[in-house]
Structure 1
Amino acid sequence: MFTTNQVCAAPVRLCIERVRGGVARAIVANSGNANACTGRPGVANARAMAAAAARALGVEPEHVLVASTGRIGVQLPMDRVRAGIAAAARELATSSAQADAAAEAIMTSDTRPKRIAVELALGGATVRIGGICKGAGMIQPGMSATGRRPSAAPPPPGAARAGGRGRHATMLAFVTTDAAIAPASLRAALRRAVAGSFNRITVDGDMSTNDTVLVLASGRAGNARIASVRSRDFAAFAAALEHVCLELALMIVRDGEGVNRMVTVRVAGARSFADADAAARAIANSTLVKTSWHGGDPNWGRILDALGYSPARVVEGRVDIGYSAPGGRAIVWSLRRGQPTRVLFEVLWRAVQPKEFDLHVRLNLGGHSAVIYAADLTEAYVDFNKGTIADPGEASALGG
């Protein structure tokens, strides 16, 4: 799954071309340089990275996928990249220490590695799914299998509902499994998982040029091969993959640049999924709403304002706004039918003090809903991203 940003990086274009074949043996990734907006040399460098990894591993170059993250608009230092690939290949092993090292190696502005692994009984065998990811800023993925931007659509049935300065961010996620599963079924499971996880998060409302989620299946678990997306085994595998992807996606939001609070925005009662999604994103990306979350201010006026300018159909006199604990059913309502409730301000204030809480918005116009996992906006985010330049003569002062 790949970014739908119309300005996409060379490794993204290369991966889109290669995943069509349905076979991949390795992923090679670098951090610190996005290899985006680098023209034909950038494409050649992405191919060179794959070739170097293929030589080190003894596989075909076209079976190597490539990912990059970091500053935009700067050519890769290929001598250092090739040396790094050779050194990394010598360190390959199956231990948890190597997994931890890989998770740390792809970090940019992340403050901690992000990883998860699960096991499940499937088709007469124990199947494992493990994943690592990175991402902290430039986070509002909108990925598709082809990199083309689809119209707004609800998650598929069964989907989850819902460094240092100058090192710029994107989101990358790499998932591996030993399940025996047909490539078409694996792609279907990944589309479903991403729809309910990485495509439902935002830190700052910016979609990266490099967002990528890749999954590799070795087939070594010995389970009965999953060929049909209508089988029980597929449903079980897809649910486990959704769990892995959602947990990784939430790690990104919690570790967002300068993030102090994570807020789950739940919009219900919309006329269509497109309306519910638009309303949730307008709230989640509103600067004024996000700063009020940081300050612990239950400011329903800013939320209602964001709803009003969103593309969603909104009738002011029907809107309800409330708060709950994460996943909680007990909702404290600040607004009902467009008017403030009699709930004491202190009660509302207490509801938004935790590091995580749910914001509930009911439009009461239909039966569609959407969820966005969002973050507050802090002074630390601004300080990190304000782009202070010590030496305007440095080439690294350019780019994203």
Structure 2
Amino acid sequence: MYEIISGGVTAAQGFSAGATRCGIKASSQKDDTAIIFSEIPCTAAAVYTKNRVKASPIQVTRDHLANQVAQAVIVNSGNANACAPDGMENAQREAAACAKLLNIPENDVIVCSTGVIGQRINIECIEENLHTITLTPDGSDAAANAIMTTDTVPKTIAVSFTAGGKTCHLGGICKGSGMIHPNMGTMLCFLTTDCAVDGDLLQAMLLRAVQKSFNRVSVDGDTSTNDTCCILANGMAGNDKIADASSADGQAFYEALEAVCITLARKIASDGEGASRLITCTVSGAPDEDTAEGLAKAVCKSSLVKAAMFGADANWGRILCAMGYSGEEFDPETVDVSFSSKAGAVAVCKAGRALDFDEEIAKKVLLEDEVLIDVTLHAGDASVTAWGCDLTYDYVKINGDYRT
């Protein structure tokens, strides 16, 4: 069992964070560089984008995490340092600037970037201004705001749980609004915990949690070059190191980790670029989880489904259409579909055929901030939920002039 608490990425013992404006993007006046720091070295794990084009910070971070140890994260917004001149050198310089400030080994620094692709990052301004950052145990919100690009709200969550008789904490922040598509959640996410966890187990659990959360989100079908989700565990809660996923402590830790990741994934989907509502699609009655996941993700990423949700149009045929090209095996003649929200519920399809329903009631259901699409296959016991958002005019406006 876990309990939701405040504190975000600094809720765990021994962690501090902060942000400052280095001036990476001249047109922006917001803080653009954040640091997350642990008093002591941490066991660390990370998952990255599956895009074949990977930003230089990912390559540097992979090298630094080869020993599963890290003590700090530096992350900048305003420039992705992807496909950019001097990319590797500048990613290394960013890590070195952080290490120098904190007086820790450069190899213990995770470095991440987000923003415009293909432009040289102004590494000089980071090196010159990083010393103005103030790290505090209350710095989570400052860091969450600094990593935002087209996000409209910061995204943060923290929980407490018990392991080995000790109260442990796990929290995180993330950014993500556009270029969001499964195969690593397409965002930046930073998780911290004071729970002691074995390195190999931490990596396995992070991958599992990402698969069940961030990898089930789709805003626009674009997978970014910079996606990184990392977790730092410093063990300062004092529990015996967790090395068995099936133990009571292992289950408690994973439950907390998955809950944090799902909460952040929902926040990303809800804040999709230009979005006016969150779409939650649950496919149940499937023969296995893979089939259910493939179908739910196909519905959430469909541009036609997204457009229908924007217009509050109960066009359920687009849902079956998306399922049909998903590549998953299912019998269309057994599919039921319904919509629900705070305004009520309406069944629109039974056994693959239209049901008579009140269009006005359906519209009220679909006008709420979160709309649930419930699909039942009647072919097994597996169930999976995925998340997306509607497709609005503002999405095009935001991305039509993103670079400038």
**TM-score normalised per structure 2:** 0.83
The Cα of 1:331 is off from its aligned counterpart by 5.6
2:115 matched to 1:70? yes
Match of 2:56 in 1: 10
2:291 matched to 1:246? no
The Cα of 1:370 is off from its aligned counterpart by 2.7
Counterpart contact for 2:57–2:112, Cα < 8 Å: yes
The structure 2 residue matched to 1:357, chosen from 371, 375, 378, is 371
Counterpart contact for 1:9–1:210, Cα < 8 Å: yes
The Cα of 1:56 is off from its aligned counterpart by 0.9
Partner Cα separation in structure 2 for residue 112 and residue 347 of structure 1: 31
Partner Cα separation in structure 1 for residue 124 and residue 206 of structure 2: 34
Match of 1:165 in 2: none
Match of 1:202 in 2: 218
* TM-superposition CA deviations, 1:95-138 (whole Å, max 9, x none): x2x22111111111111211112212221221111211111111
* TM-superposition CA deviations, 1:198-249 (whole Å, max 9, x none): 1111111111111111111111111222122221111101111111111111
2:100 matched to 1:100? no
* Structure whose residues are more often strand by fraction: 2
Alpha carbons of 1:281 and 1:121: their partners in 2 closer, same or farther (altered >3 Å)?
A: closer
The structure 2 residue matched to 1:143, chosen from 181, 184, 190, is 184
2:231 matched to 1:215? yes
Structure 2: any 5+ residue segments left out of the alignment?
Answer: 1-46
**Aligned runs of 1:10-159 on 2, under 5 Å?**
10-38=56-84, 41-88=86-133, 91-94=134-137, 96=138, 98-143=139-184
Q: Give the superposed CA RMSD.
A: 2.0
Range with greater deviation from structure 2 (17-26 or 209-218): 17-26
Partner Cα separation in structure 2 for residue 259 and residue 118 of structure 1: 27
Structure 1: any 5+ residue segments left out of the alignment?
Answer: 145-169, 389-395
Letter in 1 for 2:369: K
Counterpart contact for 1:262–1:374, Cα < 8 Å: yes
Range with greater deviation from structure 2 (131-140 or 278-287): 278-287
Partner Cα separation in structure 2 for residue 117 and residue 368 of structure 1: 29
Counterpart contact for 2:219–2:388, Cα < 8 Å: yes
Partner Cα separation in structure 2 for residue 350 and residue 113 of structure 1: 29
Partner Cα separation in structure 1 for residue 170 and residue 194 of structure 2: 7
Indicate the percent of aligned positions where both proteins have the same amino acid: 43
**TM-score normalised per structure 1:** 0.84
Alpha carbons of 1:30 and 1:141: their partners in 2 closer, same or farther (altered >3 Å)?
A: farther
Counterpart contact for 1:53–1:86, Cα < 8 Å: no
Match of 2:6 in 1: none
Partner Cα separation in structure 2 for residue 84 and residue 257 of structure 1: 30
Partner Cα separation in structure 1 for residue 290 and residue 242 of structure 2: 32
